[in-house]
Structure 1
Amino acid sequence: MQYELKTQVIEPQRQTFTHIAKRYGDKPASRYIEGSIDVQPKEHFQYRPTWDPTREIYDDSYSVFRLTDAYSYLDPRQYYYAPYVTARSGHHEAFATSLEYIEARGLLERLPDGWRSVLAELVLPLRHLESAGQLILCGMARFGWGATVTQSAAYSAFDRVGNAQVLSRVGIALGGGTTDLLAEAKEHWLHDAPLQGLRRMAEETIVETDWGLALLRLDAVDRLVYDLLYQHLDDEAVVSGAPAYSLVAQHMASWFADNRRWIDALYTAWREDPELGATNAALLAEHGAAAVDTALEVVTPFAARIDELLGGSSAVDRITTTAAEVRAAHTGAAA
């Protein structure tokens, strides 16, 4: 008896889930779409939270920023668990390779005194700012509305833990394999005048009940600090004999550019909402400008200390320029 092997194509009865087909048509959808759209719980909550009985446990009124359809916002990176983990694994492996090179060549030991002080006194303590960022974004992930919004916040919160670990590893390497500099960095964070504005802002933002306003405040500080430390000082390090700093800065700058994509997309979704866009734009102009003003106030002593340590005046000038650009982006005015 002879058998003939044939390929059979079995057409699926449907291409995707019903709720996805209602939005996008009965066609194959990406895993990001299938795992993100319309996941937000909307009913059968039973009891209101005892700590805020005026709202449901999941409620779109936890922020003044709202979308008519929460799923009009999509993460442009299309992150769900698998691609997120893959992307971050590659990022941290690349950093580990750079750190191995830095240690093998003894580049941290060769840092000029001013640059070593910048790292030890000002950069390493910011692992505590990264930890604060994690808590702020966890709050957004909990109280935000719409799974595409909350999962973007959750992945960014995970990233802040990774950033804190990056800075911790740099501190251990700079301290000759001990955690002594990390302990000193904590004391700097708790007591040094140039860092107290940042610490106050971080602690106040952690307890901000409006997740949208909290995001604006964290983002405003990030845009000043990350541009100053990992763009401006990266350029300065290249010409100042501090290649170790530059090698570390490139990884933080790379992460920040990726992280900005989901935040910028959310701002755009707020502004372009067909029903609430004008209200959101006015709120962004008002609260965004206020967040930038606060960020500039708390980062200025930090930048001034950098100028003092490196013998220049460019750090304060840089954050002033950056603040004007960010404020203009929020208000729609010319910088």
Structure 2
Amino acid sequence: MQFELRYQTIEPKRQTYQNIIERFGDEPATRYQEATLDIEPRENFHYRPTWTPDHELYDANYSVLKLTDPYTYADPRGYYYTPYVTNRAALHDEFGKTLGYLENRDLLAKLPEGWEAVLAEVVVPLRHYEAGAQLVSVAGARFAYGSSLSQCASFAAFDRIGNAQMISRAGIGAGSGTADVLSAAKETWMTADHMQPLRRLVEEIMVEGDWAEGILAIDQIDKLLYPAIYSGLDERALLGGAGAYSLFAQYLTKWFADQRKWLDALVEAWRNDPEHGEANTAILEGFEAKWGTRAAQAVNALVAVIDTNIGMEVSA
């Protein structure tokens, strides 16, 4: 007796979930769309927050910046949980291998004297800056309206902790494997004159009530700090015998480029929103005027220390 195997194609009754069908029609959807669109609750809340009874638990009015429909914004990276975790796991695995190479050869501990001072007095204390920025991103994750926004803020919060860990591990490597350098970095962050403008600014941003303003205020610092401290010193590090610093800094430079993708796209969505775009643009310009000058002053205080130690004029 012979049997013949046959394949039968069964067409699905629908290509995706109903909420996505209502937006785009009954067409195959991406995993990002299915994991993002219309996830956040919009109705049937049982109570208002006791700390802010004028708001619902999830409320667009936690920020003055508005989108007519928050789901018109999409993360250009297409990150939901799985691709985000996969990407960051690869990044930190790669960083671990680089750091292992530097530690095995004691290269961070053998940095030229000026670069050693830059690492100790400027870079390692910035682990506390990243911790403050993480809390600001957590506020965005909680209060942003719409999952397309809140998940970007969530990922940014995890990234900031990762950045702080990278900086900490580099500091421990420079300290020949001891954690004393981290205690010294905390003291520098708390008391050193050149750190106080940045510390005060971050602490004020942390208590800012508008989650979007907080994230954008931190970004005013990021846009000056990352080019000045990391990518801006790369060539100088290579030419000045501090190749170990260049290898470390490239990961933070790479992260900053990735951070820019979702945040620049969000700012553009705010500016171009059909209903709120004009008001959003005025608010964004106000945020920049409010925080931009102080961000420049804070970063310039760090740049002055770098200039003193490695004899290089860099500007924020």
Report the TM-score, using the length of structure 1 for normalisation.
Answer: 0.92
The answer to whether the Cα contact below 8 Å between 2:63 and 2:211 also exists between their aligned partners in 1 is yes
The residue that corresponds to 1:329 in the other structure is: none
How far did residue 307 of structure 1 move? 1.1
How far did residue 290 of structure 1 move? 2.2
Deviations 1:145-195 (A, max 9, x none): 010000000001000111111011111111111101011001001100101
SS in 2 for 1:67: coil
Distance (Å, rounded) in 1 between the aligned partners of 2:168 and 2:2: 68
Aligned residue pairs: how many?
Answer: 316
The residue that corresponds to 2:267 in the other structure is: 267
The answer to whether the Cα contact below 8 Å between 2:221 and 2:299 also exists between their aligned partners in 1 is yes
1:19 maps onto 2:16 in alignment: no
1:184 maps onto 2:184 in alignment: yes
How far did residue 3 of structure 1 move? 2.1
1:77 maps onto 2:77 in alignment: yes
How do 1:1-335 residues align onto structure 2 when only pairs under 5 Å count? 1-312=1-312, 314-315=313-314, 318-319=315-316
Distance (Å, rounded) in 1 between the aligned partners of 2:287 and 2:169: 36
Deviations 1:215-251 (A, max 9, x none): 1110011111111011111121111111011001111
Name stretches of at least 5 consecutive residues in structure 2 with no aligned partner. none
Name stretches of at least 5 consecutive residues in structure 1 with no aligned partner. 320-335
Distance (Å, rounded) in 2 between the aligned partners of 1:156 and 1:122: 22
Q: Which residue identity does 2:126 align to in structure 1?
A: L
More divergent stretch after superposition (256-265 vs 44-53): 44-53
How far did residue 58 of structure 1 move? 1.1
Distance (Å, rounded) in 1 between the aligned partners of 2:231 and 2:168: 20
The residue that corresponds to 1:323 in the other structure is: none
Distance (Å, rounded) in 2 between the aligned partners of 1:234 and 1:290: 31
Deviations 1:90-119 (A, max 9, x none): 111111111122122332233111100000
How far did residue 211 of structure 1 move? 0.7
How far did residue 301 of structure 1 move? 1.4
Q: Which residue identity does 1:105 align to in structure 2?
A: R
Distance (Å, rounded) in 1 between the aligned partners of 2:108 and 2:149: 40
Q: Which residue identity does 2:284 align to in structure 1?
A: L
How far did residue 135 of structure 1 move? 0.6
The answer to whether the Cα contact below 8 Å between 2:195 and 2:302 also exists between their aligned partners in 1 is yes
SS in 2 for 1:40: coil
Identity %: 49
How far did residue 283 of structure 1 move? 1.0
Q: Which residue identity does 1:273 align to in structure 2?
A: D
Q: Which residue identity does 1:118 align to in structure 2?
A: V
How far did residue 311 of structure 1 move? 2.3
Q: Which residue identity does 1:255 align to in structure 2?
A: W
* Relative contact order, higher structure (CA 8 A, sep 6+): 2
Q: Which residue identity does 1:34 align to in structure 2?
A: E
The answer to whether the Cα contact below 8 Å between 2:208 and 2:214 also exists between their aligned partners in 1 is yes
SS in 2 for 1:150: helix
Q: Which residue identity does 2:10 align to in structure 1?
A: I
Distance (Å, rounded) in 2 between the aligned partners of 1:67 and 1:195: 36
Report the TM-score, using the length of structure 2 for normalisation.
Answer: 0.98
Distance (Å, rounded) in 2 between the aligned partners of 1:71 and 1:299: 35
